[in-house]
Structure 1
Amino acid sequence: MNNIENRGGRPKKEDIMGTRFEMRLSKVDKMLLDILSEKTGKSKSEIFRSGLQALYREEMDFER
């Protein structure tokens, strides 16, 4: 019963996302986010990360 090595629970992730970011959205932006989330099956966080990465690639394209 006191087995410390096998604690159970969720396995640890390699890429821990420990930073929280809070923002305000207009009603239209929230609606767009909700539609994208439902259509793609992605979480709202995943959609924001994808958009951030796409914009970064677009803006940093001049370095190639």
Structure 2
Amino acid sequence: MTKLRVHDMAGEFGISADEVIALLRQMDVPVRSHLSLLTDDQVSRIRARWEREKRLRAEKAQPAPAAAPRRRR
């Protein structure tokens, strides 16, 4: 039973610890700082949540298909 800290999860995800803390608080996980310890259950929940967030961010970041250039007559 290895406990990870919030800043370890942030490094794994490649985002700031503040973003991880915000996600955890949305999930009603009590955290105080980037040094807070997370249980195995909390770690698995935040990993699943991050995968969903990552997909949503990727969908939002994809630009709309470019319109075909107009031909001049």
* Bucket of the pairwise TM-score, normalised by the shorter protein: 0.3 to 0.5
Structure having greater relative contact order (Cα 8 Å, sep ≥ 6)? 2
Normalising by structure 1, report the TM-score: 0.34
Bigger strand share: 2
